[in-house]
Amino acid sequence: MSTLGSRLLRTTIIGKDTPIHKLDPRTKFLYFFWISLLGYIFYDFVLTFIFLVVNLLLAVVGKVVRRILLTILVIIVPWIAIAAPILSLPLGFPWNETIIYRINLFGMELPVYQEGLGWAITWPLRIAVTISAALLFMLTTKLGEIIALFFKLRLPFRALYMIAAALQFIPLLADEVGTIYQAQLSRGLKTKASIVRRVFNFLALGIPLTLSAISKVQIRAIALESRGFSAPVEKTLMYELRFKSVDYVFFAAIIFFTGVLAYIYITMGYSPIVRLRYLFG
Amino acid sequence: MGEDSVVIRFENFSYSYPDTPNVLVDINLKVEKGEALGIIGPNGAGKSTLCKAMNGLVPHFYGGYINGRVIVAGMDTLEHTVAELSTKVGLVFQEPENQLSGLALTVEEEVGFGLAMLGYPREEIKDRVREALEKVGLSGLEERSPFELSGGQQQRLAIATVLAMKPEIIVLDEPVSLLDPIGKREVFEAVKELKKTGSTLVIAEHEIEELAYIADRVIALNEGRIVMEGEVDQVLADVEGLRKITVEAPSVAQLTHILRERAGLEVNHYPIRLEEAVKLYEEVLRK
């Protein structure tokens, strides 16, 4: 395979030997659910930020922090940058009530509300927690392990294959786009043109790409069929899922923190830190 | 040809795709166990369809209309699924990349994929994978991504995926047509090694020079019919017969044919391999 496709495929395969990679996929999947759920149970941007930091620390251990951080920054920072000024000012958020600061804007003194600001920061952070936990799972778990996990969760094998094959098919199509693009350029496709012209250019790429994709899918289907894909027997999973000591340590930590956070929730409510008076007045 | 040793038998077999009639017409063919059969012919002659008829893809996958029957390893392809036939017939396609399962991240997983689909025990899969990779010279690359391999390595990987199934028959449908010269050499070396092990091989191929070294027997297809059939030395040396169906005989055979026609070179039989040609011309030059 040529450049782009193999690069994409290689970047989806991070075969490192870290404690996070060694965790059973079930443990990592449970963690993804657990931390995401906590993010939504607590309406507290400080606590949610702590969850995000925990995810990033685990990503450091798993040596995948750069990619996760980059993804988070691309998604979350613009969101907060746009939402915070709108929601924290008057009329920006219907539940604005608590003034935490006043700013001077074009000669007008405007109050900054805790509710709007909190919402503008908490929601992107919640999403960041979910995305970072999902990426931590995806980037440190081999595709075969993921298949084994979902197979254990009794998802139909054909559905699993569709998802997995789609993931691997994208790089193949990326290569195909490159080839078709070069072919069309060689035949006089103009890249600097009006919008209408560019739409037609898109068709010049889209049609051959679609036809090529259909053909590739058919060939692959034939190849799979020739290798017993539809045999009516129970498939053997190449990966054997087995809990190790590191998984039990992780479970223990999850149980411990679930207890601590449950106590906090019961005694201090769903916004335990942002409502601390000495922090936010 | 002893009936007991026949592993592939086409009996009055004709086939039409749903949208293309008469792709194969009245095919009668027998392949013996341990034999290497070469299939040659121009594009559109029906070579690939003939290969696909051997593992049941024709007609199970493509549909279409069929007459006659194909018996492979004692199984009528019409009565058995492709999955059932996959342990009897291994098919290697032209494009190596498209044969990858899409589920395996490593070479090892890729080779084991077919066995896993058939529910073989994990330990047996590992043993067979190791064995298959050794046979095609890919040992040591078990943990590599299949997509990182060169074209030649990918095609050898495709052959390994077939070998792991331990089929009685291995069918190769133009396995080097999309490879560079190095890739072609790698694949042909692997195929020659397979031949040494006594596997039954069927290989559809345009690289007629290489086929001369691999095949024991050759059939030539044209417009869906078998137009030539015989020992490899006989068919590939028939320069005029091959030309009629727009297939070029090996260069050494063509050269000898031209010298015979134009310079009156006296030879009983055209060479089809380089070594034979060297020997022949040494004798001619000595005279």
- Whether A87 and A31 map to the same domain: the answer is yes
Res B43: pLDDT: 93
Q: Would the pLDDT of B157 be above 70?
A: yes
- Whether A76 and A10 map to the same domain: the answer is no
Is residue B165 a contact partner of residue A227, using CB atoms and an 8 Å limit? Answer: yes
Closest by Cα among A172, A170, A194, A198 to A184: A198
Interchain proximity B83–A229, CB inside 8 Å: yes
Average pLDDT, chain A: 83
Task: Give the mean model confidence (pLDDT) for residues B127-135.
Answer: 92
Interchain proximity A225–B83, CB inside 8 Å: yes
The interface predicted TM-score (ipTM) is 0.72
Task: Please report which confidence band the pLDDT of residue A161 belongs to, taking 50, 70 and 90 as the band edges.
Answer: confident
In a domain, A68, yes or no: yes
Range(s) of the domain holding residue A195: 1-16+156-230
Task: Give the mean model confidence (pLDDT) for residues B33-59.
Answer: 94
Average pLDDT, chain B: 91
What fold characterizes domain B3-249? Rossmann fold (3.40.50)
- Whether A88 and A180 map to the same domain: the answer is no
Residues 6+ apart with CB under 8 A from A54: A35
Contacts of A233 in chain B (CB under 8 A): 118-119
- Whether A131 and A27 map to the same domain: the answer is yes
In a domain, A150, yes or no: no
Q: How much of chain B is helix, strand and coil, in % rounded to 5?
A: 45, 20, 35
- Whether A25 and A127 map to the same domain: the answer is yes
Interchain proximity A223–B86, CB inside 8 Å: no
Q: Would the pLDDT of A17 be above 60?
A: yes
Q: Is A7 exposed, middle or buried (0-12, 13-18, 19+ CB in 10 A)?
A: middle
More confident residue, A142 or B76: B76
Give how far the C-alpha of residue B151 lies from the chain's centroid of Cα atoms, to the nearest Å: 18
Q: Give, to the nearest 10 degrees, the angle between helix A195-226 and helix A157-186.
A: 130
More confident residue, A51 or A198: A51
Q: By mean pLDDT, which of A3-17, B21-35, B152-166 is the weakest?
A: A3-17
- Whether A134 and A170 map to the same domain: the answer is no
Q: Are strands B6-16 and B24-32 parallel, antiparallel or unpaired?
A: antiparallel
Res A10: pLDDT: 53
- Whether A174 and A37 map to the same domain: the answer is no
Is residue B220 a contact partner of residue B229, using CB atoms and an 8 Å limit? Answer: yes
- Whether A162 and A222 map to the same domain: the answer is yes
In a domain, A79, yes or no: yes
Share of chain B above pLDDT 70, in %: 98
Q: Where are the alpha helices (DSSP H) in chain A?
A: 3-12, 19-22, 25-41, 45-61, 65-87, 114-139, 143-152, 157-186, 195-226, 245-268, 277-280
Task: Give the mean model confidence (pLDDT) for residues B31-45.
Answer: 95
In a domain, A69, yes or no: yes
Report the residue from B102, B118, B122 with minimal CB separation from A233. B118
Res B202: pLDDT: 97
Q: Would the pLDDT of A34 be above 80?
A: yes
Res B11: pLDDT: 97
Task: Give the mean model confidence (pLDDT) for residues A84-97.
Answer: 81
The total number of structural domains in chain A stands at: 2
Residues 6+ apart with CB under 8 A from B151: B96, B178, B179, B180, B183
- Whether A10 and A21 map to the same domain: the answer is no
Nearest CA in chain A to B90: A226
